[in-house]
Amino acid sequence: MRRKLVVGNWKMYGNLARNKALLEGVLSGVRELRNADYGVCVPYPYLAQAQSMLQGSNIAWGAQNVSQNEQGAFTGAVAAGMLVDFDCRYVIIGHSERRALFHESNDIAATKFDTAIKAGLTPIFCVGETLAERESGVTEQVVARQLEVILNHVGAQAVAKSVIAYEPVWAIGTGKTATPEQAQAVHAFIRQRVSQLDAVVAQDLRILYGGSMKPGNAAELLAQPDIDGGLIGGASLVAEEFVAICRAAQ
């Protein structure tokens, strides 16, 4: 039985005061929940705040990106070892915003994935199609291509230490959610592709859905057999909404 996982992706939102109130709200709402795993991926400057407020709780923390390089003259970049210094568990890799706005290729995402695994972090590797790709019927080809770089590059044992997130680009921040059936179909496809590499790894792999997941639609999405949790953007910035989704994952 795969344990559900709900992770907030705060993106570039927050400040010390707002984060404090948000984390206090989430901590008190999630404290009693025992049957799923929870996490928040915060902007780099707030990792220390997340660490000090969340350590010892049932909420893990992490970052939204990482450099593929170990160290060096890479102005503005943050290394995996630095995330480990702040006890991060998760790092989001290959988010569609990184791919589209920061020109991250499949190959860069695969290298980052490898770097994260080697540092002992759990990558949350994002895949998903644009609206134009869905409408032209190539969703599976696009997702397969995004997945293949890690399947070919890192092998089954590394994939076993990761989480995959299916985030249809057209559903991110738009209020348009994939229907449970649409999401389930792609999740099943992802699992089937991973099973070509290793059936046991595929069976245990957690595949999260992301894209306008809210308290009102979380339960039916999370009830799908291959949806093992959520990667939550907007709703993770409002304590009651994030907690309600965490409850739905119980």
Catalytic residue among 95, 97, 133, 187: 95
Nearest to ligand 13P of 10, 86 (CB atom): 10
Nearest to ligand 13P of 191, 214 (CB atom): 214
Read out DSSP for 179-229?
PHHHHHHHHHHHHHHHHHH-HHHHHH-EEEE-SS--HHHHHHHHTSTT--E
Given a contact cutoff of 8 angstroms between Cβ atoms, the answer to whether 98 and 169 are in contact is no
What residues are paired with 62 via a beta bridge? 41, 90
Residue nearest to ligand 13P (CB): 233
**Min separation Cβ 127 and ligand 13P, Å:** 12
Q: How far apart are CA 100 and CA 172, in angstroms?
A: 13
**Min separation Cβ 155 and ligand 13P, Å:** 26
**Min separation Cβ 92 and ligand 13P, Å:** 7
**Min separation Cβ 241 and ligand 13P, Å:** 10
The pair of three-digit structure tokens given for residue 45, joined into one six-digit string? 């400057």
Side chain identity at 164, as an amino acid letter? I
Task: Please say if 95 is a catalytic residue.
Answer: yes
Catalytic residue among 129, 167, 187, 241: 167
Nearest to ligand 13P of 169, 205 (CB atom): 169
> Whats the size of the chain, residue-wise?
250
Nearest to ligand 13P of 41, 80 (CB atom): 41
From residue 53, give the alpha-carbon distance in Å to each of 39, 63, 76, 86. Answer: 13, 16, 26, 12
Task: Please say if 167 is a catalytic residue.
Answer: yes
- The binding site for ligand 13P (CB under 6 A) comprises 9, 95, 167, 172-173, 210-213, 231-235
Instruction: State the catalytic residues.
Output: 95, 167
